[in-house]
Amino acid sequence: MKRFFMTAFTLVLIATAVFAEPVSVDFWHAMTGKNGEIVQAVCDKFNASQTDYKIVPVFKGSYSDTMNAGIAAFRAGQAPGIIQVYEVGTATMMAAKGAIKPVYQLMAENKAKFDPKAYIPTITSYYSTSKGEMLSMPFNSSTAVMYYNKEAFKKAGLDPEKPPVTWPEFFDYAKKLKASGMEGGFTTNWISWIQLENFSAWHNQSFGTKSNGFDGLDTKLVFNTPLTLKHFQTIYDLSKDKTFIYGGRENKANPLFSSGQVGMHFESIGGYGSMKATCKFEFGVARLPYYADVKGAPQNSIIGGASLWVFNGKGKPEYKAISEFFAFISQPEIQAFWHQNTGYLPITKAAYELTKSQGFYVANPGMEVAINQLLNKAPTGNSMGIRFGNFNIIREIEDQTWEDILAGKISVKDGLDKMVKDGNEKLREFERLYK
């Protein structure tokens, strides 16, 4: 009897060796709905493509929930292999040097296929050191664009194929749209990301010093310039007769546009799909307007979205699995699949070319507008991206102050100065932690 067990045990041992379980790596993400399904599909494709590794996507809630879960798990020694972190968390992840494994190191150590030059520079720069070392893998990237209601344009006697190019033209169009009987002219989402961060990059102006924080933690906000003041003052003045309507924080202004109350709107290209699903009229996508009298404008816009970070302290097989997965998702076919199904931008030039050759942009011209806007010029220190610690709270201060400006509690000038002053305090708090 004893012998029987011994034999059985040995057989089991042999069996496990032969049919070895693949190395499994958890991938925590924050993609909901359709995008969540595409994440699953991408992982399934990877798992089916080979037998050694298995990537297990786990939905962890909102961006901040996911990041918090990751931080808590790391502190408890239970971190997943890969975690998706939104762009405002980038500086926090970067500063946590002991917690992360830089992607460029990971790829080199595991000799995975990796060519930093294959990626679109405006996207990778957001997640790279100033020396160009990629710290995290760009995943879902978007940028801010203008959406406009083509039918409303026709009604107001405007050419639906000629969206406004400069801000003065834009404001003029907005007044005409309102005069044509609409509830208002325009609205915008994400006041900080679109009207301050992208606005600065697009005009090649500094949002913060030290290349928007890329060159050091001793960065300061400097966006309270005459240009921003002019821009915000104009929007504020237009809010009085409802040419501009405020729709709320984050992407809460979308219903104003999709219900046809305003004719023009600013939103992420990542929202293209849901815009298509909710708008019962034909709409167009155009580049962000600019002030023509600013030298160097338009420059290029910056990205939003999230990237994939790898936690420190995992075993060699796990790192091998992750590096293979990153190489896999960088392939043009996978990128094109991701891009075309989610609306997020492709992260490699090859994926863009592939999508173009497939004729995708003929049916979806808005997507190409966004990519061209990102690629408009080689990024400068003002347009590589934003790297601030405590960035989330800085954006919150900007949201709150913007609401106070619109409610008439504070003047536009004092409001912008307050955003800069309070924001700088938060930057100093962050700097102190990492000295």
Partner 1 sequence: MTKQYEFPSKGLPYLLVLPQMAVVFVFFFWPAAQAVYQSFFVQDPFGFSLIFVGFENYTKLFADPAYWDSFGVSTVFALSVAFSSMFIALFLAVQANRKMRFSSFYKTMLIWPYAVATMVAGVLWLFMFNPNVGVIAWFLAKVLGIKWNHLLDSGQALLLVSIAASWKQIAYNFVFFLAGLQAVPATLVEAAAIDGAGPGKRFWAIIFPLLSPTTFYLLVMNLVYGFFETFPIIHQVTAGGPGTSTNVLVYKVWRDGVINLDLGSSAAQSVVLMILVIGLTVVQFRFIERKVNY
| Among the listed residues 105, 110, 209, 261, the single contact to partner 1 using CB under 8 A | 261
User: Could you tell me the CA-to-CA distances from 243 to 229, 253, 256, 404 in Å, in that order?
Assistant: 18, 14, 12, 18
Query: Looking at beta carbons only, is 42 or 88 nearer to partner 1?
Result: 88
Work out which of 246, 283, 338, 344 binds partner 1, going by CB under 8 A: 246
- Cis peptide bond upstream of 298, omega within 30: yes
233 binds partner 1 (CB under 8 A): no
Using the Cα atoms of residue 274, residue 279, residue 282 and residue 283 in order, give the sign of their dihedral. Answer: negative
Rounded distance, CA 109 to CA 107, Å?
6
Beta pairing, strands 283-286 & 53-59? unpaired
By CB under 8 A, tell whether 281 contacts partner 1.
no
Residue 239: partners with Cβ closer than 8 Å, 6 or more residues away: 245, 246, 406
Residue 26 zone, left/alpha/beta (φ > 0; ψ -120 to 50; rest): beta
Choosing from 109, 218, 282, 429, the residue that interacts with partner 1 (CB under 8 A) is 429
Contact status: 99 vs partner 1 (CB under 8 A) = yes
* Cβ–Cβ < 8 Å for 347, 138: yes
Q: Which of 129, 372, 400, 424 binds partner 1 (CB under 8 A)?
A: 400
With binding defined as CB under 8 A, does residue 274 bind partner 1?
no
Residue 277 neighbours by CB under 8 Å, 6+ apart: none
Is residue 114 a contact partner of residue 107, using CB atoms and an 8 Å limit?
yes
Is the Cβ–Cβ distance between 282 and 274 less than 8 Å? no
Q: Which stretch binds partner 1 (CB under 8 A): 155-163, 205-213, 344-352, 397-405?
A: 397-405
Query: Exactly one of 75, 113, 162, 230 binds partner 1 (CB under 8 A); which one?
Result: 75
Interface residue with partner 1 among 144, 191, 406, 420 (CB under 8 A) is 406
Q: Which residue has the tokens 């992420």?
A: 268
Among 191, 401, 412, 427, binds partner 1 (CB under 8 A): 401
Interatomic CA distance for residues 195 and 244, integer angstroms: 13
37 Cα distance to chain centroid: 19
Rounded Cα distance between 191 and 397, Å, is 11
* Candidate list 162, 409, 411, 421; residue touching partner 1; CB under 8 A: 409
As measured in angstroms, the least distance from the Cβ of 396 to partner 1 is: 7
In the bound state with partner 1, the residue whose beta carbon lies nearer, of 221 and 384, is: 221
3-state secondary structure of 79: coil
Among 16, 51, 259, 358, the residue binding partner 1 under the rule CB under 8 A is: 259
- Is residue 368 near partner 1 by the rule CB under 8 A? no
**Cβ neighbours for 407, distance < 8 A, ≥ 6 positions apart:** none
Name the residue nearer to partner 1 (CB basis): 99 or 118.
99
**Radius of gyration of the chain from its Cα atoms, rounded to whole angstroms:** 24
Q: Please state the closest distance from residue 35 (CB atom) to partner 1, in A.
A: 21
Tell me the two tokens of residue 250: 């984050």
Taking CB under 8 A as the rule, does residue 432 contact partner 1?
yes
Q: Which amino acid is at 207?
A: F
Among 68, 129, 166, 372, binds partner 1 (CB under 8 A): 68
**Residue 95 binds to partner 1 (criterion: CB under 8 A):** yes
Count of residues of this chain found to bind partner 1 when the rule CB under 8 A is applied: 37
Half-sphere exposure of 246 (CA within 13 A, CB side): 18
How far is the C-alpha of 61 from the C-alpha of 32, rounded, in Å? 8
| Pattern 132-171, partner 1, x by CB under 8 A | ----------------------------------------
CB nearer partner 1, residue 11 or residue 407? 407
- Which positions from 20 through 59 interact with partner 1, judged by CB under 8 A? none
Q: How far apart are CA 197 and CA 188, in angstroms?
A: 14
DSSP 15: H
279 binds partner 1 (CB under 8 A): no
* 433 scored as a contact of partner 1 (CB under 8 A): yes
Q: Does 240 sit near partner 1 (CB under 8 A)?
A: no
User: Does the protein bind partner 1 through residue 73 (CB under 8 A)?
Assistant: no
Select from 66, 122, 136, 390 the one that contacts partner 1 (CB under 8 A): 390
Q: Report if residue 313 touches partner 1, rule: CB under 8 A.
A: no
Interface with partner 1 (CB under 8 A), residue from 33, 77, 98, 226: 98
Task: Enumerate binding residues for partner 1 (CB under 8 A).
Answer: 64, 68, 71, 74-75, 92, 95-99, 245-249, 252, 255-256, 259, 261, 390, 392-393, 396, 399-401, 403-404, 406-407, 409, 429, 432-434
